[in-house]
Structure 1
């Protein structure tokens, strides 16, 4: 069996809204519920750990009840940064394997979660080819990256819990901060991490324009391409 750690602790300041983006409506329902409903339909997942701001615990409980989510839900407090939030979630996982996902990525289909579960490798992530030129630099260009060697890292991601926690422990010991867990594990372990090709529809809702695009993606990709 599998646990999903669903990250829902972001403040969403760039959305310029009164509440975090993951609780805004997308296609008529709170964004977080798009992921929760699909995860809830997968029989191999018997536990969902939602990492959230304590202020939104009651909001999530009400949503879970309203949308009839039957999978066991565990609520955990978010940390100050994403890395701390993941670690907090991992500490309460009861299964050998975990799938990490973000509530702000509402366009992942059930089949994409299932593909991670069915993959024989222990650590598997989604990545999408980068189609644009990427330069290094701040005020001035300092280098050119070869886009054929790069991927746009996406979620969900599957990991063996013990291996990911061990990598987190090393990162904490060194005081290193990472923005997602594949890079953290790569830098702090010798474990293989398999890349599965994702899709361009799997965007993260970050800014107001993403929410507008999200309505289009939902109608075209989720409804029309089931």
Structure 2
């Protein structure tokens, strides 16, 4: 089933401490943004990519798209002050209906099988988000003092992509704008409507490149992915 993906790429990446858009940082001599775009550009089910960017970075990103042969970007829209505003701009630029995904441009290691499960779930149920179960003991604390230990069996660490039928996400975003509500992710906006949001199991490799330590981990993940691709190619030749 086809889908359209929206990528907010207008952040500043302050926690990375690079002094510029962290998406331009490289893993294996290729910008993070391009690694992420390649996942969707190479997916036959991806009908198009909408990219929210800073106006002053538009030219640089257009040059990168040409340099690395990215062909499915249908529009570069102006990003906003907050992620929610950038996604709203992508929603307005989207033509058509169907399933839409919102994905962090700084998560280059999302697996295609997870994308497929999200699209199928969103098509059937209206809303689906990627997540992994919490592995560590979780405690609720106030002012640095533990109040209680939380049952981690019921806790998920939420990632992206987050997938929705277009009309569900459009309604949720419009309602949030009318109410002056700013959410932490798209799922939160949909939850406000009382719409059920289903979790699809993702992988712990789907890391968001946020800090310098993440870049080191990213190099390891990229090397492993390249080795897996070589193994797959060898098996195909056999």
- Which of 201, 211, 217 is matched with 1:213 structurally? 217
**Residue 223 of structure 1: aligned partner:** 226
**Closer, same or farther: CA 79–150 of 1 in aligned 2, 3 Å:** same
**Residue 180 of structure 2: aligned partner:** 175
Q: Which has the larger radius of gyration?
A: 2
Shift of 1:31: 0.3
The answer to whether the Cα contact below 8 Å between 2:52 and 2:90 also exists between their aligned partners in 1 is yes
Runs of 4+ aligned structure 1 residues displaced above 6 Å come to: none
Secondary structure, in 3 states, of the residue corresponding to 2:100?
A: strand
Secondary structure, in 3 states, of the residue corresponding to 1:6?
A: strand
- Which of 100, 107, 110 is matched with 1:108 structurally? 110
The answer to whether the Cα contact below 8 Å between 1:127 and 1:153 also exists between their aligned partners in 2 is yes
What residue ranges of structure 1 are gaps of 5+ in the alignment? none
**Closer, same or farther: CA 50–138 of 1 in aligned 2, 3 Å:** farther
The answer to whether the Cα contact below 8 Å between 1:2 and 1:95 also exists between their aligned partners in 2 is no
The answer to whether the Cα contact below 8 Å between 1:3 and 1:95 also exists between their aligned partners in 2 is no
Deviations 1:7-27 (A, max 9, x none): 111101111113211111111
**Closer, same or farther: CA 95–138 of 1 in aligned 2, 3 Å:** farther
CA distance in 2, matches of 1:5, 1:165: 13
Which structure shows the higher helix fraction?
Answer: 2
Deviations 1:71-125 (A, max 9, x none): 1420111111111111111111113221111111011123332333344333111
With normalisation by structure 2, the TM-score equals 0.87
CA RMSD of aligned residues (A): 1.7
With normalisation by structure 1, the TM-score equals 0.92
CA distance in 1, matches of 2:125, 2:226: 31
Shift of 1:52: 1.3
**Residue 145 of structure 2: aligned partner:** 140
Provide the aligned length of Structure 1 versus Structure 2. Answer: 224
CA distance in 2, matches of 1:202, 1:170: 30
**Does 154-163 or 109-118 show the bigger shift?**
109-118
**Residue 233 of structure 2: aligned partner:** none
**Residue 33 of structure 1: aligned partner:** 34
